[in-house]
Structure 1
């Protein structure tokens, strides 16, 4: 690489460390700046991660005034919108942690800003880099299942509730939906070619998070820890979505894709109280179909790999910036993911089905 790629990191919380670690492993890439709203925290982060070329800032806007090729935005969810818009308008490519935003309106403005400025807005869904996710997508897009008409996705942890900024609506915007639900939605919607969502009917609750028996910060917990929704998409596809941070059950079941020629069953990997959702890898893939009139179950070999999914997503972003490629996971696509989450929140609040309206060019 003839030119060193200079990256800034905005927000120096836990997830920012994973970005710093990934960038440090790349030749020709240096973290040149770190910003955090808490005075002194950016400097501590730089020292901890041994970033000798990085300068510390308490105001991310000062960071954006420096010469950088791109930024990783690792702020709490509520700050994603303004930070991203400012970064794009400052001429910086953006690697944004999930979820994309708090509201659909914010997501649309962010994606419109990327299109207007010509700078990349890439959303950090690292499960996409699991080769088994590619198998699922390729099987469905190949037409082998026929017309897919029903999908079931989501998953649930028996006990897997985070704390801190994740459980406050004024900071996170939403709970399990924004934290792990967006991954499950991306798995299904990406496999289907990201169809346009039309309507949502949803229910959410937080019986566990607000109970001191199950959460030590119950008095601060005001987001959902459980949600279920029925989502209608263009093309007569319906998605049964369910997600849970905590429950009295071992599983909410596998992901299912029902097609006119075959069906696909996908289980998440892992075991234990924090497993059971698609924020990591795949456990098994099975195709259900008929062979000469006989009901047949064909296991699809799962690729055993050592891929660091988080490193892969950051690397892909950096390579795209260097090579002038489009965003690997563009914000213009993930607007539809955010539209579903926004619809779930609105439907749960109003206790009725709601329509989803997407402006051009995202409709």
Structure 2
């Protein structure tokens, strides 16, 4: 028996249930408190999940006064920054759901706070825990593709627009980019070793979300439901990125890594109106290369598994808490993901390419 890891949860919406369920399943982990700004909601969450030992709060700062090893931040996007800073300043390790923040400035502030507090800042990108994501990264990092110069990624749902807090800019900060686009970015950037982005040229729109024919909350919809961007990175790499919540098309295509010696094509596993995005598992992987000057396509066998990637990201956070870190998916890495999202919105608003400036940590 190890020492008991004490956890607090801030925000009791849908994703918080995944955190609660997983923490309950891990030996020697105890959820001691839950906070939600809506009166009574934290207590309802505690009762619903059978957390008899936990205390409910309407103010997350009161929760942070408890003896906690770490906190899961499951609030709407706009609250990530403030709650993360409060938790770090209170001396708690942090697991914050994606996207990391709303702006690049917020993301930088979160990383700086984690450094100053000497506390872990972990970002919740569960697709990384599909072992096939690791397989793809290993293939690209092995050098088999030669020099990777072009990457194309992104996902598109034919119909898959959420509602509620997801479609209001003051709460979510952004729409499809923040909701599902960040997954595609993390897939591509993590595979490449998270190169530093330099510039972004982007376009976004919300033709579907603002049309009552397609969305029941069209009058409240003020975020983007589609976006496309060309991103330049250090080491002479470019990324063609596209994401859509809704469109008159079945797919936005495969993820591709083009190299001087070979190319890699990756298909998402999920299909249907809500499928086609990188928040799930890998569907198929093919390597395109030449053998004796013959064009050859080699199908890469996938790793069969039954891993619950949502649960595994939380288990990994607990392992880091127990072993003293480092963060499995560190904030100083994901700040580059957030920088691109920030750049996409700035570029789309100005109609021109923007420069990305990220400080060194």
Structure 2 length-normalised TM: 0.99
Partner of 2:258: 258
CA distance in 2, matches of 1:304, 1:157: 25
CA distance in 1, matches of 2:2, 2:107: 35
CA distance in 1, matches of 2:283, 2:2: 41
TM superposition outliers: structure 1 runs of 4+ over 6 Å? none
CA distance in 2, matches of 1:206, 1:317: 36
Partner of 2:17: 17
Partner of 1:282: 282
How is 1:183-198 mapped onto 2 (pairs within 5 angstroms)?
A: 183-198=183-198
CA distance in 2, matches of 1:244, 1:30: 39
Deviation at 1:2, TM superposition (A): 2.6
Deviation at 1:230, TM superposition (A): 0.2
How is 1:132-147 mapped onto 2 (pairs within 5 angstroms)?
A: 132-147=132-147
Partner of 2:326: 326
Map Cα deviations across residues 109-164 of structure 1 (whole Å, 9 max, x no partner). Answer: 10111111110000000000000000111111111100000000001000000110
CA distance in 1, matches of 2:336, 2:239: 14
How is 1:154-233 mapped onto 2 (pairs within 5 angstroms)?
A: 154-233=154-233
Map Cα deviations across residues 20-74 of structure 1 (whole Å, 9 max, x no partner). Answer: 0010100000111000000000000000000111000010000001100000000
RMSD: 0.6
CA distance in 2, matches of 1:152, 1:271: 19
Partner of 1:302: 302
Partner of 1:359: 359
CA distance in 2, matches of 1:310, 1:104: 25
Structure 1 length-normalised TM: 0.99
Partner of 2:37: 37
SS in 1 for 2:241: strand
Map Cα deviations across residues 207-258 of structure 1 (whole Å, 9 max, x no partner). Answer: 0000111111111000000000000000000000000000000000000000
CA distance in 2, matches of 1:153, 1:9: 33
CA distance in 2, matches of 1:325, 1:68: 16
CA distance in 2, matches of 1:127, 1:103: 22
CA distance in 1, matches of 2:286, 2:96: 33
Map Cα deviations across residues 267-288 of structure 1 (whole Å, 9 max, x no partner). Answer: 0012110000111100000000
How many residues are aligned here?
361
SS in 2 for 1:24: helix
How is 1:21-100 mapped onto 2 (pairs within 5 angstroms)?
A: 21-100=21-100
Partner of 2:291: 291
CA distance in 1, matches of 2:305, 2:273: 23
Deviation at 1:303, TM superposition (A): 1.6
Partner of 2:345: 345
Deviation at 1:311, TM superposition (A): 0.5
SS in 1 for 2:86: helix
CA distance in 2, matches of 1:179, 1:217: 17
CA distance in 1, matches of 2:54, 2:78: 26
